[in-house]
Amino acid sequence: MVRGLRRLPEAGRPPLPGTDPEETAAGAARIGNWALALWLLVLTAVIVSLDALTGTDLPVIPLMVVLPALASVFCTVRQTTAVAAWVTLVVVGSRITLAGAFWDVVFLIGFTVLASALGVVACAARIRHATEVARLRTAAVALQRQILRPLPVATRQICAHGFYEPIEEDRFVGGDIYEVVQSPHGTRVIIGDVQGKGLPAIGVGFAALGAFREAAVREPELTAVAEAVEDAVVRHNDFSAETGETERFVTALLLGFDGGDRVRAVNCGHLLPRLLCDGTASAVTLDHTSVPLGMADLGGEARVAEWVRFPPGSALLVYTDGVTEARDATGAFYPFDERLAAWAGRKPPEILDALHTDLQEFSGGVPRDDVAALALSRPADAGAVPGGPERRECVD
């Protein structure tokens, strides 16, 4: 995936690097042919020279049998086979030249051939595994296209920039979800975090997103949208219980933009957004935080929609706990508000870029959770104009 302000692949675009099985097989070699030949000649010269110095008392030439094993890690099958053939030729030639004991020579030749063959087999197995992983990554890209919308997204009321970083490198989707929908009632946005990891969490997220996309257009009230997503999560949990899977919940924040200076918000156990306005960053205060989606029966209270300030020229930053709960090597939490205050005067895409880069540096490139963040701001020609175009370009 593209790092930083990430745009997910769209139909008709070439596959991402590392997601084409043929590209993976062709790019399996991590060292060029000429570089390999040079290193092979140098190592051979060193080993043969040492073997000549030590003589028959301490033969060094058998050490060359490790070269095919090393080549199997970095080279293609063809390169590894060439290394194995070269090693076999050098070892056999040196032993025959010395004219040692017959069975010693036979044993060394057999051992060299076996070790070389195992190196070639190991290389073939590694490349086959890499190709299979690449095919899975290609399927993951296709799955991502169905689950998460490419960013940025512009509607009549807002422009949404963002990035998404799943915790597993070989997986393009995780437990974090987001969506931006243009509806007759304005723009509806959801960002959420599914409990747990793996394919079961992805299934719950897909159910929640599907329900949100339908209800966001159908329901005039944002609370009704939240209830529709709640029902979808509950139904998915019922099905999961029948198949032996663990029931899961989804923390989520739903927002409704109508083009005015205020935003409707329904908080379902999610993190509070940050308002970026006039070069400052502040936490948005919500008086009502209900239980996560899928747990309404435990709460006993109806979900409440509240108004949030959204002055002209401002932006709302929404995110998942992969941001606030990131840790460094010492176990210290990421100083989110402190870093955000230093970037508050920048444009939303620049803030997201800085946040994404800083998170990677802070965690040492080892994230502990999926990370998603969206910056929601007004497009240059924003306005709730009935019948206006549904899509605009985001102008940074």
Q: Are β-strands 315-319 and 274-277 bridged in parallel, bridged antiparallel, or unpaired?
A: antiparallel
Range of the domain at 220: 150-377
Region 41-67: what's the mean pLDDT? 76
What's the gap between Cα 347 and its chain centre? 24
pLDDT of residue 162: 94
105 shares its domain with 162: no
In angstroms, the CA 173 to CA 288 distance is: 30
- Among the candidates 119, 140, 161, a domain finishes at 140
Close Cβ partners of 301 (under 8 Å, ≥ 6 residues apart): 290
pTM: 0.68
One domain for residues 178 and 315: yes
The pLDDT of residue 225 is above 80: yes
Residues 232, 286 share a domain:
yes
For residue 115, give every residue at least 6 positions away whose Cβ sits within 8 Å of its Cβ, in sequence order, or none. Answer: 65, 66, 68, 69
Q: Are residues 368 and 275 in the same domain?
A: yes
Residues 32 and 75 in one domain: yes
Q: Please count the structural domains in the chain.
A: 2
Report, as an integer, the average pLDDT of 228-250. 87
- The helix (run of H) or strand (run of E) holding residue 267 is strand 262-268
Q: Please, is 290 exposed, middle or buried when counting C-beta atoms within 10 Å of its C-beta (0-12, 13-18, 19+)?
A: buried
Question: Is 396 part of any domain?
Answer: no
Domain identity same for 55 and 89: yes
Same domain, 257 and 347: yes
**Residue 30: Cβ-neighbour burial (10 angstroms; 0-12, 13-18, 19+):** exposed
Looking at the structure, tell me whether residues 342 and 202 fall in a common domain.
yes
**69 plus 189 within the same structural domain:** no
pLDDT tens-place string over residues 1-50: 333 334 433 333 334 444 444 444 444 456 777 888 888 888 888 887 88
Q: What is the dihedral of CA 6, 356, 318, 210, to 10 degrees?
A: 40
Cα separation of 6 and 150, whole Å?
A: 8
Torsion angles phi and psi, residue 308, rounded to 5: -125, 135
User: Based on the domain organization, do 113 and 161 belong to the same domain?
Assistant: no
